[in-house]
Amino acid sequence: MKRVTIEPITRLEGHGKISIFLNDEGNVENAYLQIPELRGFERFCEGRRAEDMPIITPRICGVCPVAHHMASAKALDSAYGVEPTPTAKKLRELMYSGYIIYDHTLHFYFLGAPDFVVGPDAPPSERNIFGVLKKVGLDVGREVIKHRAYGQRITEILGGKATHPTSCLPGGISKGLNEKEKEDIEKMARSSVEFARFTLGIFNDVVLSNKDYVEMILSDPYQLRTYNMGLVDRDNNVNLYDGDIRVTDLKGAEFDRFKAEDYLDHISEHVEPWTYSKFTFLKKVGWNGLRDGEESGVYRVGPLGRLNAAEGMATPLADEEYDRMYETLGGRPVNSTLAFHWARLVELLYAAERTVELASDPEITAKDLRNPVGDPGEGVGVVEAARGTLYHHYKLNDEGLMEKVNLIVATTNNYADICMSIREAARGLIKRGEVSEGLLNKVEMAFRAYDPCFACSTHAYPGEAPTVVDIYDSEGSLLYRRERNLS
């Protein structure tokens, strides 16, 4: 076995780190994903003014600031006992749909597509966005840049700034939409629907038409049988902005359903000494370690978790795609980690269609933007961030200052799943100590599918982190080190 010389470990630990341990036979004994940082938003938000929370918390993550902005505003709605006006609700959801267009586009083309479009065994120097553009052509590249920018532009129109918007506050939103802005958004949204369909077309042609890829998606190393969680509307369709939190079991049946404010009765967090991130689990089932199956309270969130936890999509084209995905992959729930990519594109189409619906609503330019707030109290706000269910829980004192803050962030919900997916992929793919670049990439594909955002997972830095993979032999010596960036 070849020993690879490496630089000191301390130089690199500011980022996500995977350690894979081999046994005497050179097979995988265990694998760990460590999150090496913590920031403490819960602590330093204490004492801040309520209205500052939708300004401060987006700085948890510059990739998904809109999710934090919105969860924060909703937690304050609830803490002040105020319903946003009908127009404010629409405007917020409109901003939210624009954000999903931007975020899902970014992930698919920059992170996911290189593995499929360029290929999982291609050299790392080509397996990036530039490699994707080389394969699909510069015209497509321009469309990608354009529609990512559209998503950002929609947030900017409604929130003042695309990164770290400012307009949502308890009871509504500070800024309305004029006719010109409405028209602009509608145009961008219609174009985004076509772009989402086009992207699903690429997925169809490149991935689903390739027997090897379909086999890879359905192969054992990429399976994980867990509960699933996501927000649903009254008809059990996926909803990203609001609804009940629904949990489905391993057979796809409803296992639990609750309102945001009751979250503490349904989910809890577990602490391990080897990582700064916590692990969430279903209270009813309990924490039984990093294992899947019915006996384990681990659940999945994010695009695949949401689609599994629902029964359809609320817009027509996305609903067709939803059905097609489950027909192709053998019914609900789908347990293949790699199916996250497909689910993400179904949601991209949904978000674009929903943006059209909202932007073409004649009432969207109405002037009822804010309702007066009541007395400050306690509240919980939940949205579906691009990467999964996001909980903000605030307790205010009678002056409207933050007394206590609790945050359970999208990637934290998926942390146990990501750890297990890496371990299972490593076990299935690395045999007799043979490690290659292509194999390691296939291990990484198991967690890249989740679009893990380490900024979110411990409210740590940075946004989408470079990662180190270390492989140790049974004596604990480092055999191999690999560094690469996730985006």
Give residues 468-487 in contact with another protein (rule: CB under 8 A). 472, 476, 483-485, 487
**For another protein, which residue of 97, 105, 167, 411 counts as binding (CB under 8 A)?**
167
Q: What residue type is assigned to position 181 of the chain?
A: E
In the bound complex, what is the minimum distance in angstroms from residue 74's beta carbon to another protein? 15
Q: What residue type is assigned to position 59 of the chain?
A: R
Please report, as residue ranges, which positions from 53 to 92 form the binding site for another protein (by CB under 8 A).
Answer: 55-56, 58-63, 65, 80
Is residue 408 at the binding interface for another protein, with CB under 8 A as the rule?
yes
Is residue 149 at the binding interface for another protein, with CB under 8 A as the rule?
yes
Q: Which stretch binds another protein (CB under 8 A): 14-22, 86-94, 177-185, 299-307?
A: 14-22
Q: Is 62 within 8 Å of 463 (Cβ atoms)? A: yes
Provide the mask over 22-41, with x wherever binding to another protein is found by CB under 8 A and - wherever it is not. -------xx-x-x-xxxxx-
Count of residues engaged in binding another protein, rule: CB under 8 A: 95
**For another protein, which residue of 2, 10, 251, 253 counts as binding (CB under 8 A)?**
10
Is residue 43 at the binding interface for another protein, with CB under 8 A as the rule?
yes
Q: What residue type is assigned to position 1 of the chain?
A: M
Instruction: Please state whether 192 falls in left (phi above 0), alpha (psi between -120 and 50) or beta.
Output: alpha
Q: What residue type is assigned to position 452 of the chain?
A: P
Question: CA-CA distance, 212 to 116, in Å (whole number)?
Answer: 11
Q: Which stretch binds another protein (CB under 8 A): 222-230, 318-326, 403-411, 435-443?
A: 403-411
Q: Which stretch binds another protein (CB under 8 A): 219-227, 324-332, 357-365, 402-410?
A: 402-410
Q: Which is nearer to another protein, 428 or 463 (CB)?
A: 463
Is residue 452 at the binding interface for another protein, with CB under 8 A as the rule?
no
Question: CA-CA distance, 384 to 333, in Å (whole number)?
Answer: 19
Is residue 275 at the binding interface for another protein, with CB under 8 A as the rule?
yes
In the bound complex, what is the minimum distance in angstroms from residue 219's beta carbon to another protein? 25
Question: CA-CA distance, 146 to 180, in Å (whole number)?
Answer: 20
**For another protein, which residue of 139, 327, 398, 399 counts as binding (CB under 8 A)?**
399
In the bound complex, what is the minimum distance in angstroms from residue 412's beta carbon to another protein? 10
Q: Which is nearer to another protein, 240 or 453 (CB)?
A: 453
**For another protein, which residue of 24, 25, 137, 145 counts as binding (CB under 8 A)?**
145
Indicate the SS3 state at residue 430. coil
| DSSP codes of every residue in 338-380 | GGHHHHHHHHHHHHHHHHHHHHT-GGGG-S--B-------EEE
Q: Is 35 within 8 Å of 415 (Cβ atoms)? A: yes
**For another protein, which residue of 179, 215, 271, 362 counts as binding (CB under 8 A)?**
271
Indicate the SS3 state at residue 82. coil
Q: Which helix (H) or strand (E) holds 47?
A: none
Q: Which is nearer to another protein, 213 or 287 (CB)?
A: 287
In the bound complex, what is the minimum distance in angstroms from residue 367's beta carbon to another protein? 10
Q: Which is nearer to another protein, 10 or 234 (CB)?
A: 10
Is residue 270 at the binding interface for another protein, with CB under 8 A as the rule?
yes
Q: Which is nearer to another protein, 258 or 472 (CB)?
A: 472
Beta strands in 185-285 (DSSP E): 227-232, 244-248, 254-258, 267-270, 279-282
Question: CA-CA distance, 239 to 244, in Å (whole number)?
Answer: 9
Q: Which stretch binds another protein (CB under 8 A): 214-222, 252-260, 336-344, 459-467?
A: 459-467
In the bound complex, what is the minimum distance in angstroms from residue 36's beta carbon to another protein? 5
Please report, as residue ranges, which positions from 193 to 212 form the binding site for another protein (by CB under 8 A).
Answer: none
Please report, as residue ranges, which positions from 221 to 250 form the binding site for another protein (by CB under 8 A).
Answer: none
**For another protein, which residue of 406, 437, 438, 439 counts as binding (CB under 8 A)?**
406
Is residue 11 at the binding interface for another protein, with CB under 8 A as the rule?
yes
Q: Which is nearer to another protein, 19 or 191 (CB)?
A: 19
Q: Which stretch binds another protein (CB under 8 A): 133-141, 266-274, 324-332, 438-446?
A: 266-274
| DSSP codes of every residue in 111-171 | IIHIIIII-TTS-TTTSSHHHHHHHH-HHHHHHHHHHHHHHHHHHHHHHS-SSS---EETT
Instruction: Please state whether 404 falls in left (phi above 0), alpha (psi between -120 and 50) or beta.
Output: beta
Burial 253-270 (b: 16+ CB within 10 A, else e): eebbebebeebeebbbeb
In the bound complex, what is the minimum distance in angstroms from residue 97's beta carbon to another protein? 18
Please report, as residue ranges, which positions from 347 to 376 form the binding site for another protein (by CB under 8 A).
Answer: 369-370, 373
In the bound complex, what is the minimum distance in angstroms from residue 59's beta carbon to another protein? 4
Residue 10 has what DSSP assignment?
G
Residue 107 has what DSSP assignment?
I
Is beta strand 467-472 parallel, antiparallel or unpaired with respect to 478-484? antiparallel
In the bound complex, what is the minimum distance in angstroms from residue 110's beta carbon to another protein? 9
Is residue 7 at the binding interface for another protein, with CB under 8 A as the rule?
yes
Contacts of 227 by beta carbon, 8 Å cutoff, 6+ apart = 247, 248, 249, 250, 255, 282, 285, 297, 298, 299, 300
